[in-house]
Amino acid sequence: MNLTLKIWRQPDASSAGAMHTYQLADVSPDMSFLEMLDVLNEQLNEQGEEPIAFDSDCREGICGMCGLMINGDAHGPEVTTTCQLHMRSFKNGETITVEPWRSDAFPVIKDLVVDRSAFDRIIQQGGYISVNTGSAPEAHSVPVPRDDALRAFNVATCIGCGACVAACPNGSASLFMGAKITHLGELPQGQPERDSRVVNMVAQHDHEGFGGCTNIGACTAACPKEIPLDVISQLNKDLRTSIKHGH
């Protein structure tokens, strides 16, 4: 395939960026989207132009490090991560626009690389169960109903990639936050800190500059792990409960 690529280039956080246009020939449909960018980068290097910076690590859809807006869609046209998107999803002769995640809370570092450390700071404010190493009871001392464990697992699969934020017109991270609150809230071990967890995480979320949720659902549509929208309902429910409890 032959492609025209329009790619956002920005030297660093404080400089202005612009779209650059590149031509790429002989793209194999079996390439992943990032392998296509690797090939483009080899070509640029050859021509003496600095390669395009983009994030990726595991390239098997689980670490959450990659993430690009492709033709305006977070992670592109399929329900998957950018690293698991393959060029067979595109047509010969197509023009593809590639941008970094769009969100004020994810400032651009360079080209297509953004700073998602806000997610770590949200987790720091309560996205855990406090248990010091060595102080855990025997694993079978607290049975967990199979369905609860399954529900917890299904939302614990969030990879923290930020597609939900990038896809949301409000730039909200409610899906990311709701997934963690639901995961820990489904389990008996998560109960003691349930009220403080949601209050503190939401406060940090707002402090980071993420927007509020207005139930548009773009987040869940873009989520490569198909985290359901109802984790946000759970988040709101937990928030109301904590207020009732005097938080």
Partner 1 sequence: MPDTVSAAEASVSGSLDGDYDDAAGYYTPGAPLVDTKAPDAPIAERWQTRKFEARLVNPANRRKLSIIIVGTGLAGASAAATLGEAGYRVKSFCYQDSPRRAHSIAAQGGINAAKNYKEDGDSVHRLFYDTVKGGDYRSRESNVYRLAEVSTNIIDQCVAQGVPFAREYGGLLDNRSFGGVQVSRTFYARGQTGQQLLIGAYQALERQVAAGTVETYTRHEMLELITVDDGTGQERARGIVARDMVTGEVQTHVADVVVLASGGYGNVFYLSTNAMGCNVTAAWRAHRKGAYMANPCYTQIHPTCIPVSGSHQSKLTLMSESLRNDGRIWVPKNQADCDKDPRDIPEEDRDYYLERIYPSFGNLVPRDIASRAAKNVCDEGRGVGPEVDGVRRGVYLDFSAAIERLGEKGITEKYDNLFDMYERITGENPFEVPMRIYPAVHYVMGGLWVDYDLQSTIPGLFVTGEANFSDHGANRLGASALMQGLADGYFVLPHTIRDYLADGPFEEITEDHPAVVEARESVKARIDHFLSVNGTRSVDSYHRELGNIMWEYCGMERTETGLKKAIDLIRSLKDDFYRNVKVLGGAETLNQSLEKAGRVADFFELGELMCIDALNRRESCGGHFRGESQTEDGEALRHDDEFAYVAAWEWAGEDSIPVLHKEDLTYTAIEMKQRSYK
For the segment 106-165, give every residue that binds partner 1 (CB under 8 A): 109-110, 113, 115-117, 119-120, 123-125, 127-140, 142-146, 149-150, 152-153, 156-157, 159-160
Helix ranges, the chain (H): 33-47, 117-124, 146-156, 163-167, 174-185, 194-207, 218-222, 230-244
Neighbours of 89 (CB within 10 A): 13
Q: How far is CA 161 from the centre of its chain?
A: 2
Residue 50 interacting with partner 1 (CB under 8 A): yes
Smallest distance, partner 1 to C-beta of residue 32, A:
7
Judge whether 112 and 120 are in contact, CB under 8 Å.
Answer: no
Token pair 């393959």 in the structure block, residue: 86
Rounded Cα gap, residues 13 and 111, in angstroms? 9
Phi (first) and psi of residue 55, to 5 degrees: -90, 140
Size of the site for partner 1 (CB under 8 A): 77
Smallest distance, partner 1 to C-beta of residue 214, A:
27
- The region of 45-53, 97-105, 163-171, 237-245 touching partner 1 under the rule CB under 8 A is 45-53
Rounded Cα gap, residues 203 and 173, in angstroms? 12
Residue 93 interacting with partner 1 (CB under 8 A): no
**CB nearer partner 1, residue 2 or residue 214:** 2
**CB nearer partner 1, residue 102 or residue 194:** 194
Smallest distance, partner 1 to C-beta of residue 172, A:
19
The residues in 60-89 that bind partner 1, with binding defined as CB under 8 A, are 60, 62-65, 80, 84, 86, 88
Residue 53 interacting with partner 1 (CB under 8 A): yes
The residues in 167-206 that bind partner 1, with binding defined as CB under 8 A, are 183-184, 187, 189-190
Smallest distance, partner 1 to C-beta of residue 131, A:
4
**CB nearer partner 1, residue 169 or residue 188:** 188
Neighbours of 42 (CB within 10 A): 11
Judge whether 2 and 18 are in contact, CB under 8 Å.
Answer: no
